Structure 1
Amino acid sequence: MELLIVGLGILVLLFLIMKVKLNTFVSLVIVSIVVAIGLGMPLTQIITTIENGIGGQLGHLALVFGFGAILGKLVADAGGAYRISTTLIRKFGRKKIQIAVLVASFIIGIALFFEVGLVLLIPIIFSIASELGISILYLGIPMAAALSVTHGFLPPHPAPTAISGIYDANIGMVLLYGFIIAVPTSIIAGPLYTKFAQKIVPDAFKRKGNIQALGEQKDFVLEETPSFGISTLTSLFPVILMAISTCYELLSGGKITEQSSLFDQSVAFIGTPGMAMLLSLLFAIYTMGIRRHQTMSQVMKSAEESIKQIAMMLLIIGGGGAFKQVLIDGGVGDYVANLFIHSNLSPLILGWLIAAVLRVCLGSATVAALTAAGLAAPLMAATGTNPALMVIATGSGSLIASHVNDAGFWMFKEYFNLSIKETFATWTVLESIISIVGLIGALALNLIV
C-alpha cells in the first residue's frame, strides 16, 4: 500500500511539472503534503516534517553549495577555466585532443556546476575544433562526459553532497571512490564512445553547432588570465583539503573524535565540506580577485550573481529533502528496507534502480537521487553497505537515460545543432553509459573495500 501511494505521488509530481508546468519546488511541496496525507501521517505533523526535511537538507548543503557556486563563478569570471582548457589543449596536441578536452573538463567540472561548465567550455570547444578542422561533436562528447561524471559522482556538486548527508557518508571517502570510478567512466563514455557514435550517427559529426544559443560571451586575452597552475590549484583546492583530511584519518588508523589531539582535530576540521569550501573560497577571492588587482566590490558582484543563479536550485533541493523526509517519517523507507532485507538484491543496485526510474520519470538528477536515497537509506543501514559507495551508486542511477524532460538534453541538442534522434544517440547514450559503468564500478569496489 505504501509503495502504491508513493507511486501515485510521483505520477502527480510528473503531471504537475510536465503538464501543468508548475515550478518544481512548488510541485515537490504539494506532492509531499499529498503523500503524507495518503500515508496517514497526523495532519498537525505534516508541515513540521516538510520544514524539517527542507531545513535538514539545506542546512547540510547550503554552505557547500553556496560557497562552491561563488568559487566557480570567480574562477570563470577571472578566465581561470579558459586558461586551464586552452593550456591543456595546446599541450596535448592534435592527436590527443580528446584526452586534453576530457582532462580540462574534469578539472573545470569539479569547480563549476554542470550547466555553467557547459556554457563556459562550448565556445572554447567550437574555437579549437574550427582551428584544427575537426568535428565539434568529436570534442563535445568527451567534454559532456567529464562534466556529467563530476556532476553525478563528486562533491561539492549538489546530488552527491546532498545524498552523502542522507547516507551519513564521509565526503572524503566519496571523493576517493568517486575519483577511482570517475576516471575510467569518463574515458569509456567520452573518447571510446565517440568512435561508436561516429558510426551510428555520422551526420551529427558534420554539424557546425549553434554558438548563438549561448548568448553573449566574455572574451579573454590569455596573457591577462591567471596562470595555469594557480587556476588549477584554485579549482581543486576544496578537493585537496578534503582529500588530505581523509588520507590523514585513514593513516592515523581510526576516526578522529573529541578525545583526539588538537592537531588531529584541526586536520579533520579543515577537511569538513563546509570548512574546506570556505577556505577554498577565501583562497579564490585572493587568487582570482585581489591578486589580479580587482576591488572587493567587483569580486562580491560576481559572488552575488552566482547566488542568484543557484537560488532556485537550492529551493528544488530543499523540496526534494521535504519529500524524502515524508517518506522516512511516513514509514516508507522502513517498509522498503523490510521488503528487501531478506532478498539477495544489493542495496547498491536498489539505490541505483530507484534513482534510475525516478530520473527517467522526472528528468531531474538531483531530485531522483534525493528521493532514492530516502528510500534506500534504511536498507543500507540494515545491511551495513558502505555509505560512500551507496552515494556513487545512487548518483549513477540518477544520470541514466536523460531525455526530453531534462534541461541538459535540450542544451546539448541546441548547442551542437542536433536532431532529436542524434541527441538520443549521443547525449542520452553517453549519460546511460556513465550510469551503468558507475554502478559496475561501485559493485566492483564493494568486493574490495
Structure 2
Amino acid sequence: MPLVTVAAGIVALLILIMGFKLNTFISLIIVSFGVALALGMPLEQIIKTIETGLGGTLGHLALIFGLGAMLGKLIADSGGAQRIAMTLVNKFGEKNIQWAVVIASFIIGVALFFEVGLVLLIPIVFAISRQLKISILYLGIPMAASLSVTHGFLPPHPGPTVIAGEFGANIGEVLLYGLIVAIPTVILAGPVFTKFAQKLVPDSFTKSGDIASLGKQKEFKLEDTPGFGISVFTALLPVILMSIATIISLLQKTIGLEDNGVLAAIRFIGEAGTSMLISLLVAIYTMGLARKIPIKNVMESCTTAISHIGMMLLIIGGGGAFKQVLIDGGVGDYVAELFKETSLSPILLAWIIAAILRISLGSATVAALTTAGLVIPMLGQTDANLALVVLATGAGSVIASHVNDAGFWIFKEYFGLSMKETFATWTLLETIISVAGLGIILLLSSFV
C-alpha cells in the first residue's frame, strides 16, 4: 500500500535526522529516492521528479523569501524593530505591557522570519522584564504567540508562501484571510493563554532565563533609530500592497467591473514578488540612505541576510522534492481515491494530515510540503477555497511542537524552563494556535 511506503519513508526520515544526526536536506533527498524506488517509479523518471519538485518549489519561493530576508535585516540593523517595540511599550505603559509586546511582536513578526524575530525580541523582553520587575515568561508567551502566528499564517513567511504556490492559491487572498485568522488567534494564544499558564505551571513564571548564548546584541539609543511611523510603514508595506491589490480584485469580481490597465497595474504591484521588491527599495532608502548610512553598509546587511537563509532554502527545496515524489508516485491519487466518497472537508483533511506529519517530523515546513503532495490531487474534486486550504495546512503544521522541533529547545533554554514546563507552555501554546486557527478557518469557510 502506498500509505505504508509513505509511513516507512517518514520513519526513515526521523531516524536519519534524529538518530544519525544527518542534515535535514540530505535526509529529505535520500528519503525521496528511497520512497520513489519503493513506489515502483521508473528509474529514469526519479531524478527528473526530484529536480522538478526542488526547482518548482524554490522557483516560486526564492524571490519572495530572499527579498523578505533582506527587508527584515534592514529593519533590524537600522534599529527600526527596536523603535517599534520600545515606542509601543512606552505608549501602553506597565498596566498594558502584554498588549504592547503582542502588537510590537506582530508588526515585527510580519517583516522578520520566526528565528530572527525571536533573537531580536528576546533581549528586549528581558530588558523590559528587569525594568518593570515582572516575569519574563509573562511577556515571552505573547511574544512567541505573535511570532508563531505570523510565521504560520502570513506571507511572505516560507510556510504559507510555499503552500500557496503548490496549491495555486492567490497569495493576496491567503494574506487577507490569514490576517482575519491571525488576530483572534494571537489574542487567544497570547494574553488569554498566559493567564491559564500562570495557574497551570506557576513556578515557570519565577524563572530568570538565560540569553547568554545570543551573544552581545546591537543596542541603539532611541534617538538614533528611524521614527516609529516610518519603521511600521516599512515593515508592513508588503502587507499593505498585497492587501490593497487583493481587496480591489475581490471588489472587481463582486461589482463586475470590466478589466483595464489601471486594475492590471494594481494587480502587478500586488504580486508577492513585486510588492517585496518595492518594499525592499523603500527600506533601502528609509532604513539606510535617508539616515546617512552608506549604501555599502546597507548592501552588507542584505548580503548577510541571504547567507543566513541558504540552508533553509535547500531544506524547503528538499521538502518540495519529497512532495513531488508523492504526487508522481501516485500516493496523492491514492489518497484522493480513498477520500472520494467522504464528506470530510478538504480544509479539515489538510489540517489532520499536516498535524500528524508535524508531530512525527518536527519541521512545520516539511510537514506542510508533504501534506501538499497528498492533498493536491484531491483539490480538483472540490470547490473548497484554496486560500483557506493553505491556511488549514499551515495551522496543522504548527501543532504540538515537542522534542523533535528546534523551537521547543530554543524556548526551553532561553526561558530557563524544565521539560514539563516547556510542554505546558510552548507545546500547549503551539497547539492552541493550531486548533484555534482551524476553528476560525472553518467559520470563515461558511462565508467565502
Q: Which amino acid aligns with 1:58?
A: L
Shift of 1:380: 2.5
Shift of 1:306: 0.6
Question: What is the distance in 2 between the residues matched to 1:317 and 1:433?
Answer: 25
Shift of 1:254: 6.6
Shift of 1:279: 0.6
1:249–1:256 CA contact under 8 A, matched in 2:
no
Counterpart of 1:428 in structure 2 is 427
CA distances 1:342-375 after superposition (whole Å, capped 9, x unpaired): 1121111111111111111111111111111221
Q: Which amino acid aligns with 2:137?
A: L
Counterpart of 2:71 in structure 1 is 71
Q: For structure 1, which segment, 344-353 or 133-142, has the greater mean C-alpha deviation from structure 2 after superposition?
A: 344-353
Q: Which amino acid aligns with 1:161?
A: T
Shift of 1:307: 0.6
Counterpart of 1:262 in structure 2 is 261
Paired residues for 1:33-48 under 5 Å: 33-48=33-48
Change in 2 beyond 3 A, CA 1:290/1:103:
same
CA distances 1:146-168 after superposition (whole Å, capped 9, x unpaired): 00000000000001000001111
Question: What is the distance in 2 between the residues matched to 1:336 and 1:253?
Answer: 34
CA distances 1:378-418 after superposition (whole Å, capped 9, x unpaired): 22331111100011100000000101111111111111111
1:327–1:375 CA contact under 8 A, matched in 2:
yes
Question: What is the distance in 2 between the residues matched to 1:382 and 1:297?
Answer: 53
Question: What is the distance in 2 between the residues matched to 1:151 and 1:302?
Answer: 22
Counterpart of 1:203 in structure 2 is 203
1:389–1:442 CA contact under 8 A, matched in 2:
yes
1:409–1:423 CA contact under 8 A, matched in 2:
yes
Paired residues for 1:123-138 under 5 Å: 123-138=123-138
Question: What is the distance in 1 between the residues matched to 2:75 and 2:420?
Answer: 35
Shift of 1:261: 1.8
Q: Does 2:430 match 1:447? A: no
Question: What is the distance in 2 between the residues matched to 1:210 and 1:127?
Answer: 12
Q: Which amino acid aligns with 2:152?
A: G
CA distances 1:68-103 after superposition (whole Å, capped 9, x unpaired): 000000000000000001111111111111111001
1:256–1:264 CA contact under 8 A, matched in 2:
no
Paired residues for 1:28-427 under 5 Å: 28-253=28-253, 260-427=259-426
Question: What is the distance in 1 between the residues matched to 2:327 and 2:269?
Answer: 32
Paired residues for 1:1-20 under 5 Å: 1-20=1-20
Question: What is the distance in 2 between the residues matched to 1:26 and 1:448?
Answer: 43
What's the secondary structure of 1:447's corresponding residue? coil
Shift of 1:211: 2.2
Shift of 1:256: 11
Give me the CA root mean square deviation.
1.3
Q: For structure 1, which segment, 259-268 or 173-182, has the greater mean C-alpha deviation from structure 2 after superposition?
A: 259-268
Change in 2 beyond 3 A, CA 1:256/1:150:
farther
Q: Which amino acid aligns with 2:371?
A: A
Long gaps (5+) in structure 2:
none
Question: What is the distance in 1 between the residues matched to 2:408 and 2:153?
Answer: 19
The alignment's TM-score, normalised by the length of structure 1, stands at: 0.98
Question: What is the distance in 2 between the residues matched to 1:442 and 1:211?
Answer: 36
| Number of residue pairs matched by the alignment | 448
Question: What is the distance in 1 between the residues matched to 2:34 and 2:255?
Answer: 42
Shift of 1:202: 0.7
Question: What is the distance in 2 between the residues matched to 1:70 and 1:255?
Answer: 38
CA distances 1:229-269 after superposition (whole Å, capped 9, x unpaired): 00000000001110011011112227999x93221111110
Question: What is the distance in 1 between the residues matched to 2:362 and 2:286?
Answer: 37
CA distances 1:38-67 after superposition (whole Å, capped 9, x unpaired): 111110010011001011000000000000
The alignment's TM-score, normalised by the length of structure 2, stands at: 0.98
What's the secondary structure of 1:45's corresponding residue? helix
1:155–1:174 CA contact under 8 A, matched in 2:
yes
Long gaps (5+) in structure 1:
none
